[in-house]
Structure 1
């Protein structure tokens, strides 16, 4: 039963995550159809993060109790309902609801699907399963904008067909998941589950601060690429091809996957500060793109910043998990992801707020200055803590 099961589980994971970024190249079309500002675009985008954070805070450990399959099946149902909201879209309320349901789905999948892929692997395939899980998560997030951009540019019904295709993929995933085995040995009824609030034991707090800052900045950068970059590409660079927009966002997530795969080669102690400084380089390239309106710098920023996000995220998770006592490890990791997902909500909304008085480019430069300060400070702090580096 387990032969190839982890690949099917990874495919299901990728389908769900693709749905969360599917609307990225379409926000401009929604603006034309409904009529709303860049601030509303960022709020619509950020509603997704609120859904993810809510699940992580209240039900991040639920699959350990009731089993992986029920949680993942529920996540697929929420993903399907999100697609239906976009298909039935007649104004902002359904856009907000669709994004929120997508966030709930991603929140359920983030931990449960990662564990499920690993547990479905046969003996001796743990390394491949870990790679499949990483590739499914970030690759799925990258394929969403690419798929939507291609369909919106070269196929009919640009605001409908991407979600019809995703709905069909979700249906296939549901059928595949139904026949995969449960990997939790003794699932318990739902009534046994208790919310597990994130916790930070004293011995991990000093390291958690720079790790959390790195994760926050990395997710903020990806949040910018998946929310306001289509508007910048269209307004400042004249790039209105939805497929090109989707490709640029895809490159950021592809580079993140590569960055995560480099962590074992670098070692956790080097990867986390390296991720911080690579993020600074990516942000600097983005600043250049905003200042000089150069598409090449946008592409380079996506590649360099995405790689930095991957290095920083995997380095942050590994470092805080290694420093945390075993009985608190899950809570510490949940806390880290709460901080990370906050990075794709508050800073992105901040850009939307500043875009009205300052303009999108200047608002972006303010964002970049703040993120460079945070990432640079975290990197310098980590380099000056040899004791922590030796410990993790």
Structure 2
């Protein structure tokens, strides 16, 4: 525990308070539902387009609303949990997720979807940062350095559930535009109840009152911050390209329009991310990001080759290796920064990492979508390979810079 939360045994609590271990897993669950919510509409986009006769531009705008609002909330509220506590910030965030998913569940027209997507962006902007910090702070004594692996596995589980549950319900269940979101709404409501029972915030008078202010990173960890931000950005960019273009590649190679089958294929990557994160939790974070960058370069070559040769085996290999590279980059990237950020600035520091990652992810995804519309899937995929390959090279350079600066003790925090 940090000074930001009362211990589970505190007598000042008027309500039943979760234990430290239960709070740890609740925070991880918040990270998981944040990614589930963010990816939930993905499988429904084609149905929205056909049902409401949307243009490609309108469909792209549904996606674009989310990162725009998320980035705004990270900029304004990125440090909020450092002042009002992780629990309160997660409650606001999960509440916004509930409202956004509800709008999707009852949406009679595309305007409701835009509003719901905006609320999802606000919710993830608030909840994910606070949850990432809370997982570190509620870790068992001496285990905080492994929190990034749990966070990575939780977010991977959320992505897998989004594609599997969403694909299955849309393909086989009634009310394909709505039932998926009612199921997600129920899950979020349960998680909200657990967050409500987490330990409350204890005011640190030295912090002062919260007000909107620029996100800052402590001087002593700025090199780690740069390495972390580049690694997480590379992971996010690769994941967005794979999810956006991989579904189309899979549809062409497998020769099916079955959304559930395509969702299962995409979920292989998410499952691999989670397994990789758990397997790599004992290794130094610096080594994880370097290995993840190398794996990304190899995987990009596999993905491009599978598209050019129309090879399903190569695409499946790229899917598995993609999960490994994402898991290494994201888990290692978070690990570089979360364990070393000052406790009273941990939320803001994590927000600064997510801010860079989401800005570049959204820019890359939007650009590739426009290129795919104008010039075809092959051109967009090639551009994605070049951009993400460049990010992977930057990650290798950043990891090398850490080693050259003698940052072994900082980097090897995951032991």
Is TM-score (shorter-chain normalized) higher than 0.5? yes
Partner Cα distance (1:3, 1:114) in 2:
15
Partner Cα distance (1:39, 1:301) in 2:
29
Query: What pairs with 1:76-225 in structure 2 (closer than 5 Å)?
Result: 76-119=94-137, 132-178=150-196, 180-186=197-203, 192-200=209-217, 208-209=225-226, 211-225=228-242
1:331-376 deviations in Å (ceiling 9; x for gaps): 4433222111123211111111111221122211112122212312
Partner Cα distance (1:245, 1:365) in 2:
22
Which sections of structure 1, spanning at least 5 residues, go unmatched? none
Deviation at 1:43, TM superposition (A): 3.8
Q: 1:274 to 1:250 in 2, by over 3 A?
A: same
1:280-310 deviations in Å (ceiling 9; x for gaps): 1222222122212333333322321222122
Q: Look up the SS of the partner of 1:195 in the other structure.
A: coil
Q: State the match for 1:370 in structure 2.
A: 387
Range that drifts further, 208-217 or 301-310: 208-217
Does 2:75 match 1:70?
A: no
TM-score (norm 2): 0.81
Q: Look up the SS of the partner of 1:382 in the other structure.
A: helix
1:115-151 deviations in Å (ceiling 9; x for gaps): 4445556768768876554432331232112110111
1:219–1:341 contact (8 Å) kept in structure 2: yes
Partner Cα distance (2:68, 2:90) in 1:
19
Q: State the match for 1:259 in structure 2.
A: 276
1:21–1:142 contact (8 Å) kept in structure 2: no
Does 2:370 match 1:347?
A: no
1:141-200 deviations in Å (ceiling 9; x for gaps): 32112110111122111111101111122222233333x132422389xx9212342235
Q: State the match for 1:26 in structure 2.
A: 44
Deviation at 1:203, TM superposition (A): 5.9
2:82–2:344 contact (8 Å) kept in structure 1: no
Q: Give the root-mean-square deviation of aligned CA atoms.
A: 3.2
1:91-135 deviations in Å (ceiling 9; x for gaps): 433332222211111111112223444555676876887655443
Paired residues, number: 389
Which sections of structure 2, spanning at least 5 residues, go unmatched? 1-17
Does 2:76 match 1:58?
A: yes
Specify which of 35, 49, 52 is matched with residue 67 of structure 2: 49
Q: 1:390 to 1:140 in 2, by over 3 A?
A: same
Does 2:287 match 1:282?
A: no
TM-score (norm 1): 0.86
